[in-house]
């Protein structure tokens, strides 16, 4: 599996991301063609620079000042009418939507009413759309990232002097592991945070991989404390690794006065919101009241939304949370056919080298209902006909 890892030890911005992608080998002409299709006064200049002695690529977007603001629908229209491929358009739209939602939350207004000043300027449109094109052209199946240093101090923007991280950046980095850095000032911008959180699935110091390319993108500033660069490691995940590690939150609350149907409904809502697992344990609480412990596993990016659902649906007074590191068997999902219908199979490789395959329940149940067979009969037939590992 091809993966790309963002080493954000000096933060991340839109132009640093675009520069790292070009430095890693993405064809800049492919990005320039997309920019030209916007029919806007934009030029992209690329140069080789050094940051504290480290060679890197720097991208400078030359664009005219815009007198009028752009709103999210305006930006979306620019993307829709461009020559970007559908996957590239969808990624660019996703990034801009995340950015707009963060700004809307900060300013207390509807997403469609947020006007993009710094964010919607021509250079930011170029950074985001250029990054969407570059990320797509990498042909990577998974993106990971190190912890992200937001920076410290203050930053000047249209609304005046703001603390670092800027409010929109802080909103975007909810659930993301943060880190400190020697550099002061704004290290992670809203654009950089929006790009990163739109594609990264795991935050880790360094995934197990065989590195093939390293793209190094330079930021505009050149501080003396440490090189202002973003590194992008690209390569193959180590096939010999039997497991990978990631971090999840375990959230728990004890319930002794909530009807069973409410608990069941809550479990459904939690799974719909992205919970990795939800389980119930019978317990005996104080005064010998019977109760149930609701436990939820979720990724860091979903923790706040999961807690909101638990509080709202159960009216509990408190939630315990523990950050846990887990080992996961290497797994992949592939499509197979039983001769009449398509279904998915999840295959995993265990630490002892053996393999295991599990047919997706929902697909097998659908086939059983349509054919009139028993579910166990469908599972046995598909496993034998496809020679799946037990």
Q: What are phi and psi of 305, to 5 degrees?
A: -65, -40
Among residues 332, 336, 365, 335, the alpha carbon closest in space to that of 346 is found at 332
Q: Check if the beta carbon of residue 3 is closer than 8 Å to that of residue 140.
A: yes
pLDDT at 387: 66
Mean pLDDT of 324-337: 79
List domains and CATH numbers for the chain.
Answer: 2-237 (no CATH), 244-327 (3.30.70.1380), 338-386 (no CATH)
Q: Residue 193, exposed/middle/buried by CB under 10 A (0-12, 13-18, 19+)? A: buried
Q: pLDDT for 238-287, tens place per residue?
A: 754 456 677 899 999 999 999 999 999 999 999 999 999 999 999 998 88
d(Cα 128, Cα 105) in Å, to the nearest integer?
Answer: 20
Mean pLDDT of 159-185: 88
User: Which residues, at least 6 apart from 245, have a Cβ–Cβ distance to it below 8 Å?
Assistant: 204, 325, 326, 327, 328
pLDDT greater at residue 117 or residue 371: 371
| pLDDT band, residue 65 (cuts 50/70/90) | low
pLDDT at 354: 72
Tokens of 57: 């690529």
SS3 297: strand
Q: Check if the beta carbon of residue 115 is closer than 8 Å to that of residue 69.
A: yes
Query: In angstroms, what CA-CA distances link 44 with 82, 124, 161, 366, 389?
Result: 17, 12, 29, 51, 52
pTM of the model: 0.64
Position 237 pLDDT exceeds 90? no
Position 384 pLDDT exceeds 90? no
Q: pLDDT for 178-205, tens place per residue?
A: 998 887 889 999 999 999 999 998 898 8
d(Cα 243, Cα 330) in Å, to the nearest integer?
Answer: 5
């Amino acid at each position: 599996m091809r993966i790309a890892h963002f080493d954000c030890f000096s933060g991340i911005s839109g132009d640093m991301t675009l520069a790292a992608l070009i430095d890693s080998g993405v064809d800049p002409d492919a990005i320039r063609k997309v920019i030209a299709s916007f029919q806007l006064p934009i030029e992209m200049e690329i140069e080789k620079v050094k940051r504290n002695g480290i060679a890197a690529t720097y991208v400078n977007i030359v664009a005219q000042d815009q007198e009028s603001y752009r709103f999210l629908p305006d930006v979306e229209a620019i993307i829709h009418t461009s020559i970007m491929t559908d996957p590239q358009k969808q990624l660019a739209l996703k990034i801009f939507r995340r950015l707009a939602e963060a700004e809307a939350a900060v300013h207390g207004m509807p997403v469609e009413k947020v006007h993009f000043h710094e964010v919607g300027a021509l250079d930011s449109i170029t950074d985001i759309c250029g990054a969407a094109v570059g990320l797509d052209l990498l042909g990577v199946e998974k993106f990971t990232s190190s912890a992200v240093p937001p920076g410290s101090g203050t930053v000047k923007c249209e609304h005046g002097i703001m603390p670092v991280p800027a409010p929109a950046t802080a909103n975007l980095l909810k659930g993301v592991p943060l880190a400190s850095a020697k550099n002061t000032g704004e290290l992670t911008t809203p654009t950089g945070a929006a790009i990163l959180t739109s594609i990264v699935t795991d935050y880790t110091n360094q995934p197990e991989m065989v590195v093939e390319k390293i793209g190094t993108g330079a930021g505009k500033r050149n501080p003396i404390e440490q090189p202002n660069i973003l590194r992008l490691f690209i390569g193959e995940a180590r096939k010999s690794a039997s497991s990978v590690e990631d971090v999840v939150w375990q959230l728990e609350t004890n319930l002794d006065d909530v009807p069973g149907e409410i608990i069941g409904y809550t479990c459904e809502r939690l799974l719909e919101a992205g919970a990795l697992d939800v389980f119930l344990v019978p317990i005996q609480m104080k005064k010998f009241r019977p109760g149930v412990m609701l436990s939820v596993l979720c990724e860091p990016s979903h923790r706040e939304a999961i807690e909101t659902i638990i509080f709202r649906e159960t009216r509990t007074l408190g939630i315990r949370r523990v950050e846990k590191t887990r080992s996961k068997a290497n797994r992949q999902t592939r499509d197979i056919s039983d001769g009449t219908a398509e279904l998915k199979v999840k295959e995993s490789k265990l630490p002892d080298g053996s393999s295991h395959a599990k047919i997706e329940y929902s697909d097998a149940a659908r086939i059983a209902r349509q054919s009139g067979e028993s579910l166990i009969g469908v599972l046995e037939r598909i496993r034998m006909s496809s020679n799946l590992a037990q």
